[in-house]
Structure 1
Amino acid sequence: MSPPSVARTRYRPAELSDEELVAKANSELFHTTTAYEELMRRYQRTLFNVCARYLGNERDADDVCQEVMLKVLHGLRHFEGKAKFKTWLYSITYNECITQYRKEKRKKRLLDALSLDPQDEHHEQEESVAERTSLDRFLVHVNPVDREILVLRFIAELEFQEIADIMHMGLSATKMRYKRALEKLRKHIDNPF
């Protein structure tokens, strides 16, 4: 004869609704992840497909899916059930896709400003494309102050006056350093050796 408490704790996750799994996950996490794992198993493929279509590539889609799963894991206890779990999940997914898209867009703007042709990169092997598009590879050729100006301009998308205020520099000095840093990077890209 088995103890009644053991019989009560056993359940079949695949037979439960999303709402029941959310309730189970809230009571189990972080000691047990069975209900959470079932929720993610149900939606993993669809999440990946949504991300891949939105972002246009599988690498970014995989990264976003991982981020979504972590956000769900840590956010389940705050899920109030005002919407369906599926709606909440896709809301997180959409927001993460937008964030990733904006990151890639900023990175592309920086590469465009450095006069790199993304079409040329597309035809090279994937590993060398990743190496060539690495911002760190290009930014090592400028001094730290100029690198910070470029990062604040392209990655943080700040205006020159905001950058000048942050860097405690004059507006004209900030613009001049920005222009010189871009020129130096362009020269290095044109003559890498």
Structure 2
Amino acid sequence: MTKTHSPTMSYDPRQLSDEELAQRAHDELFHITRAYEELMRRYQRTLFNVCSRYLGNERDADDVCQEVMLKVLYGLKNFEGKSKFKTWLYSITYNECITQYRKERRKRRLLDALSLDPLEEASEETSPKVEEKTGLEHWLVHVNQIDREILVLRFVAELEFQEIADIMHMGLSATKMRYKRALDKLREKFSGTIET
């Protein structure tokens, strides 16, 4: 980030792009939080939806969202704008969700659609029952963890493939291939009811 703005200049945060708001927040924090608050307002709902799809419950999703918002608040001072704000935000979210998985796994075995243990997922006794899930959760039960994460970032966060590849530290072609294979698998199971 190179341009700076005077914190005293009046502006309507709703009229600015994410990148302009990120620049404002970079310059203004921690004295003025208007730009930061607008960024969080724009993404709060999707952030929560992404976290709850990853974690399988609203309590953990809420905790992770709070942690993400704090990391964004303190991280904006160092955000250089090398990637889009949205990509940076979901990269933080993805990492926080992974951290939360690991914490929860140490405390107890997770028996939800995003279990980290592939053997557990393969077991019919411990795998979540399809009837208990609706919408995206209904589909996610049938693909592995990495493919689930790609689908969540694509369908819930509505990210581009390059953004997903960057967040997951994968090549673009590998990301697209995994996405296509996951959809093919789901199409087989659900008779082509999923749209790309």
User: Could you tell me how far apart the structure 2 residues matched to 1:95 and 1:45 are?
Assistant: 18
Asked whether 1:85 is paired with 2:85, we answer yes
What runs of 5+ residues in structure 1 fail to find an aligned partner?
1-5, 110-118, 120-193
User: Could you tell me how far apart the structure 1 residues matched to 2:63 and 2:86 are?
Assistant: 20
User: Could you tell me how far apart the structure 1 residues matched to 2:89 and 2:19 are?
Assistant: 12
What is the one-letter code of the residue matched to 2:68?
V
User: Could you tell me how far apart the structure 2 residues matched to 1:26 and 1:81 are?
Assistant: 10
Alignment match, 1:50: 50
Alignment match, 2:99: 99
Q: How many angstroms does 1:80 deviate by?
A: 1.1
User: Could you tell me how far apart the structure 1 residues matched to 2:105 and 2:60 are?
Assistant: 13
Stretches (4+) displaced over 2 A = none
User: Could you tell me how far apart the structure 2 residues matched to 1:90 and 1:64 are?
Assistant: 12
Percentage identity across aligned positions? 79
Q: How many angstroms does 1:91 deviate by?
A: 0.2
User: Could you tell me how far apart the structure 2 residues matched to 1:83 and 1:9 are?
Assistant: 26
Q: Secondary structure of 2:39's match?
A: helix
Q: Secondary structure of 2:11's match?
A: coil
Structure with the larger RCO, 1 or 2 (CA within 8 Å, 6+ apart):
2
User: Could you tell me how far apart the structure 1 residues matched to 2:36 and 2:23 are?
Assistant: 10
Alignment match, 1:74: 74
Q: TM-score, normalised by structure 1?
A: 0.52
Q: How many angstroms does 1:27 deviate by?
A: 1.3
What runs of 5+ residues in structure 2 fail to find an aligned partner?
1-5, 110-125, 127-196
Q: Is the 8 A contact 2:47 2:65 kept in 1?
A: yes
Q: TM-score, normalised by structure 2?
A: 0.51
User: Could you tell me how far apart the structure 2 residues matched to 1:87 and 1:60 are?
Assistant: 22
Please tell me whether Structure 1 or Structure 2 has the larger radius of gyration of its CA atoms: 1
User: Could you tell me how far apart the structure 2 residues matched to 1:81 and 1:26 are?
Assistant: 10
Alignment match, 2:23: 23
User: Could you tell me how far apart the structure 1 residues matched to 2:57 and 2:89 are?
Assistant: 21
More helix by share: 1
Q: Secondary structure of 1:80's match?
A: coil
List aligned pairs for 1:1-193, cutoff 5 A: 9-109=9-109
User: Could you tell me how far apart the structure 2 residues matched to 1:11 and 1:82 are?
Assistant: 24
Q: Alpha-carbon deviations, 1:118-168, whole Å to 9, x = none?
A: x9xxxxxxxxxxxxxxxxxxxxxxxxxxxxxxxxxxxxxxxxxxxxxxxxx
Equivalenced residues, count: 104
Alignment match, 1:137: none
Q: Alpha-carbon deviations, 1:9-52, whole Å to 9, x = none?
A: 11100010011101111111010100000000000000000000
